[in-house]
Amino acid sequence: MFPMFLFLAVPAAEIYLFVEVGSQIGAWLTIGMIFATALVGGAILRQQGRQMIARAREQVAKDKLPVAEFAHGAVLVLAAFLLLTPGFITDVLGALLLVPVLRRLVLSTILVAIRTRIHKFEAWGGHSDASHGDTVIDGDFKDISGSETDGTPPVDGKRIDRD
């Protein structure tokens, strides 16, 4: 329900802001601002993306997994998407995600949400790792797919076994 609300509300708010800002400063300046924020945001994103890749390479060189760098990279991709989407609201949200402190806050919020979902899943009877609830059933079988049981051929491709 909430994603559908966002899907409808954000474009409506963006259109409203386009009209309001355009009536105050003019249509061409409004369009120029949209392109300027996309260009500036893209430049900042490029610079921070290179820094993130350099940090990831350092972690790999130390034989460590660059998990935090990948997480920050995912948020940077979201920021890029928001900055390249025309509109003032999406530009502000994308610019906020470029601030490292706010990016960490978003990542920690996502991590908390994931942990809560995992705990809810476990409470409903799910298992979080392979050590819980693995059931192994040992048994023997006999392959009878290629043989005839008592000399009678299969009827219409199906086998009818008799006791």
Per-position pLDDT tens, the chain of length 163: 788 888 899 899 999 999 999 999 998 999 998 888 888 878 887 888 888 888 889 988 998 888 888 888 888 888 888 888 888 999 899 889 888 899 899 988 988 888 888 887 777 765 555 555 567 777 777 777 765 555 555 556 565 566 5
Among candidates 94, 45, 47, 52, which has minimal Cα distance to 71?
A: 52
Task: Specify if 150 maps to a domain.
Answer: no
Q: Do the domain assignments include residue 111? A: no
Could you count the other beta carbons within 10 Å of the beta carbon of residue 26? 11
Domain assignment of residue 120, yes or no: no
Structural domain that includes position 68: 9-99
- Token readout for 131 is 């050590």
Whether the CB-CB separation of 29 and 50 falls below 8 Å is answered with: no
What pLDDT does residue 114 have? 86
Residue identified by tokens 């300046």 is 29
CA gap 21, 26 in Å, rounded: 7
The answer to whether residue 128 is domain-embedded is no
Give the model's pLDDT for residue 47: 85
In a domain, 117, yes or no: no
Task: For tokens 């921070």, name the residue.
Answer: 48
| pLDDT reported for residue 89 | 93
Quote the pLDDT of residue 26: 93
Q: Which of 111, 93, 91, 115 is nearest to 102 (CA)?
A: 93
Residue 134 has what pLDDT?
67
Give a yes or no: residue 161 inside a domain: no
Q: Is residue 57 part of a domain?
A: yes
Report the pLDDT value the prediction gives residue 147, as an integer from 0 to 100.
Answer: 59
Overall domain count for the chain: 1
**Is residue 59 in some structural domain?**
yes
Q: What is the DSSP letter of 158?
A: B
Give the model's pLDDT for residue 151: 58
